[in-house]
Structure 1
């Protein structure tokens, strides 16, 4: 539930930043929004690049849809993916 709320918030942030490109806000806020957009694109791109770099050759390649979701939702998509990965692994036995 929390992950879905985070995804919704990320969509609203993207919408707010993209709206600034179409209809720029007044002068001081306009520049802040442009910097925030550049920062968000760089951070989400870096996150996607690091995810791709950490995958082993044994793991399946990431689909384009998943890569797009990681770029859009960032850490929230990564948390959902991590939760899915943990659910797939069998529980560890005691040694």
Structure 2
């Protein structure tokens, strides 16, 4: 779990760096690279959120806005934490 939290922290640093480039642009070659990186990050995290929603079964509860925001911000790190939580919940349900 420590590695997941470390990954989340890393994602916050990356988001901050990319968004800072919008407020205070870096010199030209780096600015364009970071703009492309931000675009790629937004598209990939939105795609991940969309795929996560599409794979839910009808039995599972729809994710709330807070969870969707965390998936968008932290990406794969939030998904791994969610999968671990789901797996633990299934195991505890089987034990009953």
**TM-score band w.r.t. shorter chain:** over 0.9
2:51 is the alignment partner of 1:50 = yes
Q: Which has the higher helix share?
A: 2
Question: Deviation above 4 Å: which 4+ runs of structure 1?
Answer: none
Q: How many residues align?
A: 93
Q: CA deviation at 1:90?
A: 2.3
Please provide the CA RMSD for this pair: 1.3
Q: TM-score, normalization: structure 1?
A: 0.94
Q: Which runs of 5+ in 1 are unaligned?
A: none
Q: Distance in 1 between matches of 2:34 and 2:90?
A: 42
Q: Which runs of 5+ in 2 are unaligned?
A: none
Q: CA deviation at 1:89?
A: 1.1
